[in-house]
Amino acid sequence: MATTDQLIICEHCDSVYQKATLAKHQKTLCTRCGGVLQRYNGLTVEQRLALTFTALMLWIFANFYPVMSISLKGVKNSATLWDSVLALSMGPITFIAMVAAIAMIIAPIFQLLLLIWVLGFALGGRRSPGFKLSMRWLETLRPWSMLEVCLLGAMVAVIKLAGLLDVLPGIGLFALAALSLMMIRIAGRDIRELWDLV
Amino acid sequence: MSTPPYADELNLCLCHTCGLACDMTFEPHECERCGAPLHRRKTNSLTRTWAYMIAALVFYIPANLLPVMNTKMVGNGADSTIMSGVLEFWEAGAWDIALIIFIASIAVPGIKFVAITLLLVTVQRDSEWARKERSTLYRFVEVIGYWSMLDVIVVALVASLVKFQALADIEPRPGILFFGLVVVFTMLSAMSFDPRLIWDKERENPHNEEVTDEVTSH
């Protein structure tokens, strides 16, 4: 098995390569199909864990503070992400509320908690209990976590309502903006490197 | 140009979950590192991709015809579909927002249907045409995948905010459910497709591409 550790297989065309050591900003591409094989990742376990805790704080702000508030003739109203999920859950369309809840709230928080779990143990050079399961769930959750889309959606909603009434972006929106950028950095596919580290 | 070997030729198999190159000498069913099931190719990839895509295509019709939300201003209710939302912005002069919503809600699902059908048909006909470009196309479909959720989130936020009883009230309508289903099913469809199928026939006649190139140049 020692020999296959240094091999890398292109997931798009099944070509086999030797792993390369990358310097900053470098990536390797498959010569057959042009897919990315490896990308340089400058994060150490400590840095990634620190960023994950920051992201957890941002998640709390993004979920407990209103994303925006509006006022119409002196009456004010504000909504959090959870309020918007509830707005979808009325009537026959409850299923879509579930999808929205997973995409905006549930998948990101599970990603963050799993990351803290595996990275916390990795800091001490150990594999966490349930390491295999946690790593597999991180892979499964990734495509269903849609914070970037959520951010763009919130911005479109602000502009959409600005024509009708007074709109004020809330703390939740700024937290969401920072959180969605951080998730791209910390929860990407490069967490697979943990398999080699611990 | 030296071409890299295929995993099959070295009796290796990629684990999709952790990225390990697994030795297939003893035909293991699970990745020895992460325990995920191992498949040389995704099982029933083509059938599943077709099935999810056709389901998405069926939902795409009510998603565009049924209203996605209802706006009530001082007692007068008005339903709006996705396209009428785009047109409203366009007519109000907000062409940039109109463009964002149009791309995310109408163009992206449309592009996905065309791209996935193209990938499926070319793979089924063992086509040698533009393999590298088709691989790029597949990656593009994966990237644009979830951006169509945009409208679902906009409707959710707007409906939760505008709740002023008789004065103004916005409610979601069933169109948004079908729209969300289109997004989920096109995502499942793209995930079921195995891009390695594009390259599978190359191994049997590795020099085919060069030969056909010469033929067409005559």
Report chain A residues whose CB lies below 8 A from the CB of B101: 156
Cβ separation of A33 and B199 shorter than 8 Å?
Answer: yes
Assess contact for B102 and B86: CB atoms under 8 A: yes
Is residue B217 very low, low, confident or very high in pLDDT (cuts 50, 70, 90)?
very low
Across chain B, mean pLDDT equals 86
Report chain A residues whose CB lies below 8 A from the CB of B5: 15-16
How many beta-carbon contacts under 8 Å exist across A and B? 216
How much is the pLDDT for A3?
Answer: 65
Residue with tokens 């045409």: B129
Read off the DSSP letter of residue A2: T
Distance, CA of A156 to CA of A166 (rounded, Å): 15
How much is the pLDDT for B163?
Answer: 85
Read off the DSSP letter of residue A125: T
Assess contact for B157 and A169: CB atoms under 8 A: no
Chain A window 70-99: which residues touch B at a Cβ cutoff of 8 Å? Answer: 70, 72-73, 75, 77-79, 83-88, 90-93, 95-97, 99
Instruction: Read off the pLDDT of residues A97-128 as tens digits, 9 standing for 90 and up.
Output: 999 999 999 999 999 999 999 999 999 888 99
pLDDT tops 70 at residue B206: no
Assess contact for A121 and A198: CB atoms under 8 A: yes
Instruction: Read off the pLDDT of residues A159-177 as tens digits, 9 standing for 90 and up.
Output: 888 877 889 999 999 999 9
Q: What percent of chain B has pLDDT over 70?
A: 92
Instruction: Read off the pLDDT of residues B130-149 as tens digits, 9 standing for 90 and up.
Output: 888 999 999 999 988 888 89
How much is the pLDDT for A198?
Answer: 78
Instruction: Read off the pLDDT of residues B39-77 as tens digits, 9 standing for 90 and up.
Output: 888 889 999 999 999 999 999 999 999 999 988 887 788
Q: What is the arithmetic mean of pLDDT over B159-181?
A: 88
Cβ separation of B191 and A7 shorter than 8 Å?
Answer: no
pTM of the model: 0.88
Task: Tally the residues of chain A.
Answer: 198
Those residues of chain A that have pLDDT short of 70 are: 1-3
Q: What is the arithmetic mean of pLDDT over B184-202?
A: 91
Is residue B215 very low, low, confident or very high in pLDDT (cuts 50, 70, 90)?
very low
How much is the pLDDT for A62?
Answer: 95
Assess contact for B153 and A153: CB atoms under 8 A: yes
